A and B are shown apart, each in its own frame.
Chain A
Amino acid sequence: MIIRHVAARGSYRALVQNRLKQFRRFFSEVTSIEATADSSVNQLQALEGQLNSQTAFSVPTASPDTQAAPLSGSVAEQYHKFKHLEKHFGHLGSDISPHYQPHALLNNPPSPADVTLELLLAAEAHQGHLTSLWNPANARYIQGIRQGVHIISLEVTAAHLRRAAKVVQEVSRRGGLVLFVGTRDGQDRAVVKASQMAKGYHLFERWIPGSITNGQQILGKCRTKVVNEKDEEVPGFEEQLYDRPVLRPDLVVCLNPLENYVLLHECALNNIPTIGVIDTNADPTWVTYPIPANDDSIRCIQVIAGVLGRAGQAGQKQRLAAAQQGHITYRAARDLRLPEEVEEAISPEVMNKLEEGMLDDGNGLDEKLDQVRNRERSGRTLKQMD
């Protein structure tokens, strides 16, 4: 075995050197991986033949190393390998100029600081409708007419979009509930992504009429939960939650107001501010903060929803950062008593002292707001089960 290995190694080298000299002149055949393995195996077998014939004992044969081991097995490993190859080789060959990638608007939307007129133009936010279909209330947003359609002024769009982003950011910073609504085809992914970023709520199917004005009936069976300032759920409030009125959004962002009149009207009846994408044929008075833009272009909707989602994300980050420092940016819910003290039945004044960081203004507005919010409460009473 040892003799064979040494001889093989030494002879292999000699053979290789010998053959290499021949390669350069006469031997133009070039071997592939398998042929190289084969040729070295052939040399080994030829050597074994020689040794067998010359020595007294028989040399044990070497098994050819063609039994290839399986490739890296697990899916995770293959994925890592794929990522490694993409990193090292994916970009080779040429540089590709920046271009529109549809998934980028959904996976990595622009933030309010990235809003430029070029971005809005590329997203076709300036395209209005035929001049005969316009709503004259939108005259202030229109730049002019081209090819029979109204062209929305992009400076105006950008300004209104930035204002709406500020509203979303501040509502999120104050712990408000933001509802993103987009019920047209193709708006669902943008709406979901925006609500995920802003930690808000989304709706891409039909708005059920009465969800706010008749909310106790329609949404009364939905689960509610109590969270602390760090957004961790606090258990133990189930009995108190059973009694409480149904929740309402603090801000509604509507991406197609033309199809959602009922939603916007309910919000207006209940003093809920709304943001809406207003095309040249839409009514700007339906929403509190209009964004004059093209609601028929999905790319435009993705840009607007993305920007507002990013603004909400920034607001949430500010809220949580303040909570880490111990500063709570919103008023805590009234009439909630800590679970372990329900049995002790302590006085509400002590309860209020425990909820720190409340923003109280002295003119009694908070009580009035509570009354308005709890107006729907009277429809339901707790059945006493003994």
Chain B
Amino acid sequence: MIIRSLVRRPGAVQCLVQRCRATPSPFSARNLHSKPTLDRHAELLQNGIPGLFTPKGFNIAYEQYHQHIVDGLNEATSGTEWENQEPKALVVEWARNPMTAYGFNMASMAFNNHFFFKGINTDPNTVSAPPTDLLPEINKHFTSLETLKETFLATADAMFGPGFVWLVQQDDTATRKLSILTTYLAGSPLAGAHWRRQSHDLNHHNADSYQGLNPVGSFGSAARQEPKLKKPLGGVDVVPLLCVNTWEHVWLQDYGIGGKRDYLEAWWDRIDWNKVRDNGDFRGANVPFSQGVRKFAF
């Protein structure tokens, strides 16, 4: 019973049979989610992303796939109390409960895919290179940009199956360390959705190794726990800066079955490093966040 209801999406069987995904059911509210547009969207539709995606590849990776995800999101939310919520809020809300796994998957893929495409530099005239205030931080945590590139791309290449690889900044005030995080399938790096971070492929674990991952029940002074960042309620432990989408549909059209490594190399040259710097906090160690920030008017 449980397996059946986990598998079945609301209206999935009917939709498969009648192909009614595009048409809303008569009793549901209007569909509020729509696919967002990117910078220079018209050019991207025409020319793709030069150096990364052909027009057909971009069409599959973003236009068709993101529309598919947004349709699923509408299906999961329209007519419910969640219909006006943003995908990020839905990710955090639905991460814990397995019964809401479908909605979580849709919201998380919408967030991750949009994050990926926003992090790409779509201007064909500019060369992607990290700005000068970002390089010292990269060198501090990864010894050099080349090492970061090698580690990042090797991690992404080694992942078996679809997922995302993220460059994240941790939130401790002392170092604000940069690190690489993998999320399989629709896993999310957001702090409130750690139940579905999915940073490990459980197929590579047996019962003993899984014990090391699963912290359920380990509390108290006798438990051997590595010291973790003390996160306040609602606080954030990692901030995502950059991600690459390693789902096959993204690169299959343009790079072929064996072209994952080529795709990753091409993507690295199209990163928008200014967005990376803006997403994170690179003002220096132990500088409080509120310094230099204008007062908010209430």
Q: Which residues of A contact B (CB under 8 A)?
A: 9, 12-13, 16-17, 20, 23-24, 27-30, 32-34, 36, 66-74, 76-78, 80-85, 88-97, 99, 101
Contact = CB atoms under 8 A, between A and B. Distances in A.
Contacts of A80: 289-290, 293
Interface size bucket, B side? 35 or more
Contacts of B293: 80
B173 interface: yes
B262 interface: no
B110 A93 contact: yes
Given A16-B151, A20-B151, A92 B32 contact: no
A76 B289 CA distance: 9
Given A76-B290, A80-B289, A88-B278, A93 B107 contact: yes
A13 B170 CA distance: 23
Contacts of A36: 179-180
Q: Which 6 A-B pairs have the closest CB atoms?
A: A93-B87, A69-B174, A93-B110, A69-B172, A94-B33, A93-B111
Contacts of B158: 23-24, 27-30
Given A23-B155, A69-B229, A95-B36, 5 more contacts: A16-B150, A68-B170, A82-B234, A90-B86, A95-B33
A77 B111 contact: no
B86 A96 contact: yes
A24 B229 CA distance: 32
B84 interface: yes
Given A24-B154, A24-B157, A80-B293, A92 B172 contact: no
Contacts of B204: 28-29
A304 to B, nearest CB: 25
B229 A70 contact: yes
B86 A28 contact: no
Contacts of B236: 81-82, 85
B182 A28 contact: no
A23 B235 contact: no
Interface of B: 30, 32-37, 70, 73, 84, 86-88, 107, 110-111, 114-115, 118, 143, 147, 150-151, 154-155, 157-160, 168, 170-175, 179-182, 199-201, 204, 226-232, 234-237, 239-240, 261, 278-279, 281, 288-290, 293, 296
A155 to B, nearest CB: 27
B107 to A, nearest CB: 7
A341 B289 CA distance: 55
A80 B288 CA distance: 10
Contact of A94 (B73, B159, B182, B281): B73
A101 B85 CA distance: 11
B32 A74 contact: no
A93 B288 contact: no
Contacts of A17: 150
Nearest to B35: A94
Contacts of A77: 288-290
B79 to A, nearest CB: 13
Contacts of A68: 170, 172, 227-229
Given A71-B232, A76-B290, A66 B181 contact: no
12 contacts: A20-B154, A24-B157, A33-B179, A71-B171, A71-B230, A90-B88, A92-B110, A92-B114, A93-B110, A93-B111, A96-B34, A99-B32
Contacts of B229: 68-71
B70 A94 contact: yes
Nearest to B110: A93
B239 A85 contact: yes
B288 A71 contact: no
Nearest to A88: B279
Contacts of A82: 234, 236
B227 A96 contact: no
Contact of A20 (B150, B173, B290): B150
B173 A70 contact: yes
Nearest to A97: B32
Contact of A30 (B172, B201, B289): B201
Contacts of B160: 28
A136 to B, nearest CB: 40
A89 B88 contact: yes
Contacts of A85: 236, 239
A62 to B, nearest CB: 16
A78 B173 contact: no
Nearest to B241: A88
A16 B279 CA distance: 28
B143 A9 contact: yes
Contacts of B32: 96-97, 99
B114 A13 contact: no
Contacts of B239: 85
